[in-house]
Structure 1
Amino acid sequence: MSIIQIKGNVRYKITIDPSVWIFDDRKFLMDSFFEKGAASEDTQLDHELDQERVIREGQTLPPTLKTEKKYEKERLVTGSFGMKLGDMLKNAEPFEEAKTCEFVTETETIAAPLAKAMESIAHFSQNGKPITEKGPIHVYFADQSNITQPIKGVKELIIT
């Protein structure tokens, strides 16, 4: 199943489908997350925007709409994407007393502070395809403390 439920100590229980995030403007390339090391998210975003600008403006040739569309289409087909999980958690509107987020998989439940969960990254697309093996998302913490062992197979997010 490719849907994830957000429930618990929230105003709105939400069901999300990460496969549609490919069309969301908030997504970003996971390569930049894996390469960033100690760099801040703002620096990463600035770098991505600079790369986008160079591609769109071109090094030597002026951009064309056809070139931009071709580049974007190719990126969607071959790229690996993630999205900040906090964007989804904010929509559920956790209550003020909520302090923890539990990542529920088929085999275990991993608890993290809500603030850490808000900054975490949901990796939802690998090489242009939805993550199916132990998917629909793999969760990485922004501090990269679980970079070699992400939380895989997340089915529910329970806010407590």
Structure 2
Amino acid sequence: METIIPIKGKVNYSITLDASVWIFDDRKVELEEFLKFDNSTEKNENDYIKTQSERWERERTGIKPPVNRSIKRFEKERVLTGSFVIPLAPFLENADPIDNELNVQLISENGDSYVLTMEEAVNGFLRFSKDGKPLREDGPVHFYYGDGSNASDPYKHISSIAII
């Protein structure tokens, strides 16, 4: 199974995503935390902005924070056993859609397609991990609406994203 997901269509930059490396991405969110749905989209965006600003400040000043080995060990165990989602918004922004009034089509490996508004897609999340492992049987990714309306039945087998 391929973990490469292209974003193509009416975009200025066709890009490819590799879901297998998202486990190292700071933007990932634990699935259980995401499924709480208490302004999770806004909270996750704020957390992402805060994380990026802290990273920028460290790079700018050259200060390396001290590493707590027990936290590092906890993070490693969490990554190896957790289930994660990642926001779709940064990837759509990088592809730079020609118009924000366009729709987003999620195309699955089995031929199904799901059409979303740009707003639904920007607020959505992609699940890429279950119990620390890639989604092999029904992956490479699942799509969840940001409001959790399809939490019990996400769109599965998503292998391509097209801006239409």
- TM above 0.5, yes or no, is yes
Aligned residues: percent identity?
A: 36
Instruction: Compute the displacement of 1:97 (Å).
Output: 5.4
- Match for 1:86 among 82, 85, 89? 89
Task: Report the TM-score, using the length of structure 1 for normalisation.
Answer: 0.83
| Match of residue 40 from structure 1 | 39
User: Which SS does the other structure have where 2:158 is aligned?
Assistant: coil
Residue by residue over 1:105-156, the C-alpha shift from the partner in whole angstroms, topping out at 9 and shown as x without a partner, is 1221110101100110100011111111110101000111211111101111
Matched, 1:113 2:117: yes
| Match of residue 17 from structure 1 | 18
Contact 1:122–1:138, Cα closer than 8 Å, also in 2:
yes
| Match of residue 146 from structure 2 | 142
Structure 2: how far apart are the matches of 1:118 and 1:88? 9
Contact 1:120–1:141, Cα closer than 8 Å, also in 2:
yes
The number of residues matched between the two structures is 144
Contact 1:10–1:94, Cα closer than 8 Å, also in 2:
yes
Unaligned runs of 5+ in 2: 51-66
Task: Report the TM-score, using the length of structure 2 for normalisation.
Answer: 0.81
Note the aligned Cα RMSD (angstroms): 2.1
Matched, 1:128 2:132: yes
Q: How does 1:60-75 map to 2 (within 5 A)?
A: 65-75=68-78
Matched, 1:95 2:117: no
Instruction: Compute the displacement of 1:45 (Å).
Output: 7.5
Contact 2:100–2:118, Cα closer than 8 Å, also in 1:
no
Unaligned runs of 5+ in 1: 50-63
Contact 1:32–1:44, Cα closer than 8 Å, also in 2:
no
Letter in 2 for 1:135: G
Structure 2: how far apart are the matches of 1:94 and 1:139? 19
Contact 2:23–2:79, Cα closer than 8 Å, also in 1:
yes
Relative to structure 1, the CA distance from residue 70 to residue 103 in structure 2 (aligned partners, 3 Å threshold; closer, same or farther) is: same
Residue by residue over 1:12-40, the C-alpha shift from the partner in whole angstroms, topping out at 9 and shown as x without a partner, is 01111111001111111111111x14x10
| Match of residue 3 from structure 1 | 4
| Match of residue 104 from structure 1 | 107
Structure 1: how far apart are the matches of 2:93 and 2:100? 14
